[in-house]
Amino acid sequence: MTMSLAAFQSGLGWALQGGGGCPVDPDSVGIRFTAKVRRSWCEGRAINAARSVLTLLPHDQRQWLVAAYVDGGGGQASFLSTEADAFLAFLATRLADPSHALSVCRMEQALARAREGAETFVPAAHGAATAGGGRHLRQGRHAGMVRFHANPGAVLAALRGGPLPMVGPAGHAVLFAPGLPDLFRAAGSDEAALWDAMPAKGSARIADRLVSEGVLEYRD
């Protein structure tokens, strides 16, 4: 029975992704070359989507993680932002905890959420949190807090070729939110404690500033 063009194209595409049922000789030079090019393209796209995180990893670990991600179907998203979301989520469950690579991974995820939220963010009126009295607050949907295990400046300098600092206590907390001028700033110890306590009632005066920045928000 003659195969339809649609079935042929579908079977060929599936075979190039590592599936079975190739409608032509899977060991032909053309198929093997096309599969190799496709694989290289997917791996390159994954690397571009999370380059900052991968930079902090040993070469062998970096190669293994990229290969595992592509083996699972990664590297094919139409938009790089979508690819980055998927690959960072993949990495976040596989990186050592604690590690600078994991902190940077979480930073990239938090920055992406803050950028998305900044497109529609409207700052709350000053005094909204304290005026809310007993209303409950939660962590902002487009906010995040990342704890670094060394000075964040030193960790980011390592991305540009500087020495990677030792992993120490998680004593450097950074807030990310759509209402912050640069989408991030250092968190005070009281702010970090309030973030960790969420959800909670907004009776603390410090919550006012965090609500206006989008770090915290009222629960619906």
In a domain, 1, yes or no: no
Q: pTM higher than 0.75, yes or no?
A: yes
Residues 30 and 109 in one domain: no
Residues 218 and 175 in one domain: yes
Please, what's the b/e burial string for 24-62 (b: 16 or more CB within 10 A of its CB; e: otherwise)?
eeeeeeebeeebeebbeebbebbbebbeebbbbbeeeeb
In a domain, 76, yes or no: yes
| Res 8: pLDDT | 45
Residues 127 and 196 in one domain: yes
pLDDT digits (tens, 9 = 90+) for 68-123: 999 999 999 989 999 999 999 999 999 999 999 999 999 999 999 999 999 999 98
Residues 128 and 202 in one domain: yes
Residues 83 and 171 in one domain: no
Residues 28 and 67 in one domain: yes
Residues 72 and 132 in one domain: no
Residues 86 and 38 in one domain: yes
| Res 141: pLDDT | 96
Residues 108 and 76 in one domain: no
pLDDT digits (tens, 9 = 90+) for 26-48: 566 655 666 788 889 999 999 99
In a domain, 2, yes or no: no
Could you say which of 77, 94, 111 is where a domain stops?
94
pLDDT digits (tens, 9 = 90+) for 121-141: 998 765 555 555 567 899 999
Tally of structural domains, the chain:
2
Q: Can you give the residue range of the structural domain that contains 214?
A: 97-220
In a domain, 71, yes or no: yes
Residues 79 and 127 in one domain: no
